[in-house]
Amino acid sequence: MRYQRSSQLFKDANSSIPGGVNSPVRAFKSVGGTPVFMQSAKGAILHDVDGNHYIDYINSWGPQILGHAFDPVISAIKETAEKGTSFGTPSEIEVEIANMITSMVPGIEMIRMVNSGTEACMSAVRLARGVTGREKIIKFAGCYHGHSDAFLIAAGSGAMTFGTPNSPGVTKGTAKDTLLAQFNNIDSVRKILIDHGHDVATLIVEPVAGNMGCIAPAPGFLESLRTLCDEYGVLLIFDEVMSGFRVSAGGAQEHYGVTADIVCFGKIIGGGLPVGAFAGRKEIMNYLAPAGPVYQAGTLSGNPLAMAAGYTMVKHLRDNPKIYSDLEKTSSEIEEGIRAVLSSNSIAHTINRVGSMMSVHFCDNPVVDLQSAMVGDNDTFKRFFHHMLNNGVYLPPSAFESWFVCSEINSSEVSQTLDAVSSFKND
């Protein structure tokens, strides 16, 4: 049996871990079957507990942009661990990575480290409310900003309807302060601001959406958000947990030339370890305790292990800009190759890509928001996922997640990927 050990581990896990996993997408609920348990990884290759190996297009959901077990990062972690894993006090590496990130990313002057992307987005919203003295926020249907209560809101009957909770445990009181707009639809934002603009503290958006598949902002969309936020005194938050340091060294802000008021980071700045951060101009960030009245704290925030790993990763990206042009070349080759194969096999598809983030949707309509992403044929995706898995290619186990390409994927692995796609028959 190809996944015998994984199957047994999943059975054992279900007795002590809710759903058998520590994060829901890992359970393969969207694609069916038994989740694969990994044992090790190096470069672009994952190795499971049954001795199978896979070309990885998840890369820990983004942070392994330089491939798994990148030697300089591993060395930095080992060297730091020997000195202590956490002090609960300031350390020099926190200052070094803060100075480097603020010098690389447009529009930010100060940064606060936290422990996850969820924590970064949650804290950024609290900060925006504290700065503006307002309570409501605008988010976009299909954009994911972590599992904080304010973000687990589904759209009502339209963009102007107050949100309703889509998870038990989220109160109606929390939901009423979250207003839902449609991604790439500036009119939906304008209508909300006309009715509620003076009560809205912040608008939070993934500048490159990654949780309804990869969806790029339409031309002028981010620029129009900036203009509307300025008009109504709303702070604009870019959630760059996925896009930060991946679509360019300066993230989506640099890539699209639009500057947010607050930017959230995660993934890459931990070098594969748990980390998050939020950043902005001094006059905004100085509202945070202990400089200001908005409270935020964390015992493990800025811990030396994560900071050493992140500093090493980000510095390598800063000092080697050719990585981004090489990633663009490889990602483009994968995109065009998949498109050619699916077209030749008369399989309806749409491929979205921004740099080394991409997704394949099994529909022939443009995918520009959550509604259009939902049109995709999920049954075809399920078959495609398991076909690729059985041919040694590990894709995100959901039609609504972005793929991530790492710099360690070589021409042979690109060919293997395209060969696997070529043998897929949508019967």
User: Which residues are marked as active site?
Assistant: 144, 239, 267
| Structural Rg of the chain based on CA atoms | 21
Strand-pairing partners, residue 237, are: 204, 262
Those residues with Cβ within 8 angstroms of residue 158's Cβ, 6 or more apart along the chain or in another chain: none
Task: Compute the distance between CA of residue 155 and CA of residue 171 in angstroms, rounded to an integer.
Answer: 15
Task: Compute the distance between CA of residue 219 and CA of residue 343 in angstroms, rounded to an integer.
Answer: 26
Query: What is residue 43's DSSP assignment?
Result: B
Which residue bears the tokens 């809710």?
18
| Residue whose C-alpha is closest to residue 165's, from 147, 184, 190 | 147
For 200-245, give the secondary structure using H, E and C.
Answer: EEEEEECCCECCCCCECCCCCHHHHHHHHHHHHCCEEEEECCCCCC
Does the N-terminal peptide bond of residue 290 adopt cis geometry, omega within 30 degrees of 0?
yes
SS3 of residue 53 by DSSP: strand
Q: Residue 317 region, left (φ>0) first, then alpha (ψ -120 to 50), else beta?
A: alpha
